[in-house]
């Protein structure tokens, strides 16, 4: 129970109202764009080594006296060589284009690795107000070259700060940059057309020698591809690539991922006045579809902290999606991670789409889908499905953990998506083990849809669309805002494990709960201000302390980084007793 911490909470309210500063949460780092890089040779006159950007919460909107450090492989603690900016991750220069502050309240910090650091595995951390954060891994190396693309550059030579290259096309073609190189775009510009990396020669990085294409601080680089994909992996053979802080507008697929790669802090949308349409996703990957060429772009992919918005519309094909993660041909791939992304107002069917067909394959390890904010989405917010897997009796296999996500107003209508669900599981020989923990679902469906449900696990005797995997549904909040059913009357089965969920309808508080969810709560969860997308829990809400134990390795913290202590709350947000959010203060003052 949180009785002691609630006493602290009331004390915080008292001192806050008296004008005494309230307690602050410890700083928390979530992820960085680069996880390895050279320690020297940058040449921009400011930093020494690789310019890294890290995202987190409780870092402060300005640096003030806060500092960021590297603990190197020898145990030495060294302050970063230079801090380029320290700000809210609001999509405004000098930061990257992904607005993660609006939904996640994140900050971002860009800094240079110090040349004094020892080569090898190190740790990055910050100190804010005298408090140390957690640590992120970073491998320091003395290999790899820094390349720069600047106005007035020439596409020849080494591509240094003093003698830069002129174009991204030249930099990424595969026979200009090399293994371990970091390519910085250092002039704001817009490129019209498609960029294919590795188009002249295949170029793969290595485990601690990634190849990176990154926007330099205080620069905005835009790729605008009105008739094709944006940045594509040529033949999808180029592995270990990182893409960071780019803005891409494309007709069919904005950034084509690479195996063991990272796409971080990018803004992804469709061209102005053109609806995306094709057979892809704003971010997508496939393993096994072109196996003769060694394709495996889904393998160990990290999609972190991107802003995907206004992608697709009413004319968009049902094969184009907001994101697309797929296997083919009985291929096995290390499971990707899709975390801390913001998906807003996407007209392409399905928000996070995990899919296989024909001779279905297997994800190895746990496919983590967490801490994403999905709003105003056509089709299901999260969709896990298959089609035509009859040629492989092993089916679609692996484990998917869906946790700490906020899905608001999913299941919007389009001519190719006439069913409105927040979460949908379906498919022939879909044997996925799906764990759905601590998500908040608020509003789903549309009046033009044929069916509207908060969640569906498709099952109908004789149907080829039956979901045959296992489902755990624990500690979730489902809120209907339009008078729709929670689950389907037919073509639906119960989860294998279900407990400690809350179901509520704002239009019909007496609506019948799913018959199988015995013991579920039926009460207003008392969000602070759902109409303003504030899904924090009020202190008297029924979801507080009502959770069941689930793996702490997944949900030790909530959507906003709050540590879950003692009895767990339902939904994506844990009631925070260590700080006083301004919205809570306003409610209490009424």
Q: Where are the alpha helices (DSSP H) in 409-545?
A: none
Distance of CA 373 to CAs 13, 278, 342, 403, Å?
Answer: 29, 24, 5, 11
Bridge partner list, 397: 362
Q: Categorize the per-residue pLDDT at 291 as very low, low, confident or very high, splitting at 50, 70 and 90.
A: very low
Query: 37 lies in a domain?
Result: yes
Residue-wise pLDDT tens digits, 369-425: 999 999 999 999 999 999 888 777 889 999 999 999 999 999 999 999 988 999 999
Q: Which of 280, 389, 399 is nearest to 334 (CA)?
A: 399
| Percent of the chain clearing pLDDT 70 (strictly above) | 92
Query: 425 lies in a domain?
Result: no
Query: 267 lies in a domain?
Result: no
Domain of 84 in residue numbering reads as 28-141
What does the alpha-carbon distance between residue 352 and residue 343 come to, in Å, rounded to a whole number?
9
Q: How many residues does the chain have?
A: 590
Residue-wise pLDDT tens digits, 427-458: 989 999 999 999 999 999 999 999 999 999 99
What does the alpha-carbon distance between residue 284 and residue 29 come to, in Å, rounded to a whole number?
26
How many domains does the chain divide into? 1
Residue-wise pLDDT tens digits, 548-577: 999 888 999 999 999 998 899 999 999 986
Residue-wise pLDDT tens digits, 193-231: 999 999 999 999 999 999 999 999 999 999 999 999 999
Longest dimension (CA), the chain: 72
Query: 106 lies in a domain?
Result: yes
List, as own/partner pairs, every contact residues 289-296 make where C-beta atoms lie below 8 angstroms and the sequence separation is at least 24, other chains included: 289/326, 289/328, 289/329, 290/235, 290/236, 291/328, 291/329, 291/331, 293/235, 293/236, 293/237, 294/237, 295/235, 295/236, 295/237, 296/239, 296/259, 296/331, 296/333
What does the alpha-carbon distance between residue 279 and residue 324 come to, in Å, rounded to a whole number?
9
Q: Which two tokens stand for residue 451?
A: 């069916």
Query: 327 lies in a domain?
Result: no
Residue 21: its pLDDT value, please?
A: 35
Instruction: Provide φ and ψ at 103, rounded to 5°.
Output: -100, -35
Pairing between strand 440-444 and 397-403?
unpaired
Residue-wise pLDDT tens digits, 138-177: 999 999 999 999 999 999 999 999 999 999 999 999 999 9
Q: DSSP string spanning 206-222?
A: BTTB-EEEEEPTT--EE
What does the alpha-carbon distance between residue 210 and residue 37 come to, in Å, rounded to a whole number?
8
Residue 236: its pLDDT value, please?
A: 78
Whether 267 has a pLDDT exceeding 60, the answer reads: yes
Residue 169: its pLDDT value, please?
A: 98
Q: Categorize the per-residue pLDDT at 285 as very low, low, confident or very high, splitting at 50, 70 and 90.
A: confident
Average pLDDT over residues 513-525: 95
Query: 136 lies in a domain?
Result: yes
What does the alpha-carbon distance between residue 589 and residue 16 come to, in Å, rounded to a whole number?
12
Whether 339 has a pLDDT exceeding 50, the answer reads: yes
Q: Which of 231, 312, 323 is nearest to 271 (CA)?
A: 312
Q: What contacts 320, CB < 8 A, 6 or more positions away?
A: 252, 276, 277, 278, 279, 280, 281, 312, 348, 349
DSSP state at residue 94: T
Query: 91 lies in a domain?
Result: yes
DSSP state at residue 396: B
Q: Which two tokens stand for residue 398?
A: 């692996």
Q: Which two tokens stand for residue 322?
A: 């907001």
What does the alpha-carbon distance between residue 571 and residue 405 come to, in Å, rounded to a whole number?
9
Task: Residue 82: give its domain's CATH number.
Answer: 2.60.40.10
Pairing between strand 451-457 and 497-499?
unpaired
Query: 188 lies in a domain?
Result: no
| Percent of the chain clearing pLDDT 90 (strictly above) | 83
Higher pLDDT, 490 or 111: 111
């Amino acid at each position: 129970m949180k009785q002691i911490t609630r006493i602290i909470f009331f004390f915080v309210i008292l001192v806050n109202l008296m004008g005494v500063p309230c307690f602050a949460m410890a700083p928390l780092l979530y992820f960085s764009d680069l996880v390895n890089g050279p320690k020297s040779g940058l040449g921009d006159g400011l930093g020494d080594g690789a310019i890294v950007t890290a995202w987190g919460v409780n870092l402060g909107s300005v640096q003030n006296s806060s500092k960021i450090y590297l603990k190197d492989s020898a145990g030495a603690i060294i302050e970063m060589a230079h801090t380029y900016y320290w700000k809210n991750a609001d999509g405004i220069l000098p930061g990257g284009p992904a607005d993660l502050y609006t939904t996640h309240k994140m900050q971002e910090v860009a800094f240079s690795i110090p040349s004094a650091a020892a080569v090898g595995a190190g740790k990055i951390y910050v100190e804010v107000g005298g408090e140390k954060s957690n640590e992120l891994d970073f491998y320091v190396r003395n290999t790899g070259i820094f390349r720069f693309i600047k106005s007035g550059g020439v596409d020849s030579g080494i591509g240094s700060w003093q003698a830069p290259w002129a174009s991204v096309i030249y930099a990424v073609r595969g026979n200009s940059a090399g293994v371990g190189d970091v390519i910085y775009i250092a002039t704001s510009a817009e490129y019209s057309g498609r960029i294919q990396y590795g188009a002249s020669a295949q170029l793969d990085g290595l485990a601690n020698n990634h190849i990176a294409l990154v926007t330099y601080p205080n620069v905005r680089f835009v790729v605008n591809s009105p008739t094709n994909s944006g940045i594509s992996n040529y033949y999808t053979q180029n592995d270990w690539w990182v893409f960071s802080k780019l803005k891409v507008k494309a007709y069919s697929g904005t950034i084509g991922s690479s195996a063991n790669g990272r796409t971080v802090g990018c803004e992804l949308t469709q061209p102005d006045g053109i609806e995306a349409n094709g057979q892809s996703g704003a971010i997508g990957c496939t393993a096994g579809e072109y196996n003769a060429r060694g394709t495996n772009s889904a393998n160990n992919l990290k999609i972190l902290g991107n802003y995907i918005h206004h992608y697709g519309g009413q004319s968009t094909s049902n094969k184009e999606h907001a994101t697309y993660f797929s296997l083919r041909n009985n291929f096995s791939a290390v499971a990707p991670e899709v975390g801390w992304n913001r998906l807003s107002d996407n007209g392409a069917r399905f928000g996070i789409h995990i899919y296989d067909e024909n001779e279905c394959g297997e994800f190895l390890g746990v496919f983590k889908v967490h801490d994403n904010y999905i709003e105003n989405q056509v089709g299901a917010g999260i969709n896990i499905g298959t089609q035509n897997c009859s040629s492989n009796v092993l089916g679609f296999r692996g484990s998917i953990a869906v946790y700490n996500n906020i899905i608001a107003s999913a299941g919007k209508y389009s001519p190719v998506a006439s069913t409105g669900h927040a979460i949908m599981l379906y498919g022939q020989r879909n044997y996925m083990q799906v764990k759905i923990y601590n998500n908040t679902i608020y509003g789903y469906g549309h009046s033009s849809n044929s069916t509207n449900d908060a969640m569906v696990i498709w099952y109908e005797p004789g149907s080829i669309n039956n979901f045959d995997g296992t489902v755990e549904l624990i500690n979730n909040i489902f809120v209907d805002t339009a008078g729709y059913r929670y689950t389907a009357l037919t073509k639906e089965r119960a989860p294998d494990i279900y407990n400690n969920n809350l179901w509520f309808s704002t239009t019909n508080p007496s609506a019948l709960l799913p018959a199988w969810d015995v013991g579920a709560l039926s009460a207003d969860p008392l969000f602070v201000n759902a109409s303003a997308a504030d899904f924090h829990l009020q202190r008297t809400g029924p979801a507080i302390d009502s959770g069941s134990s689930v793996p702490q390795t997944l949900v030790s913290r909530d959507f906003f980084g709050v540590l879950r202590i003692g009895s767990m709350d339902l939904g994506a947000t844990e009631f925070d007793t260590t700080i006083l959010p301004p919205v809570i203060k306003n409610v209490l003052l009424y």
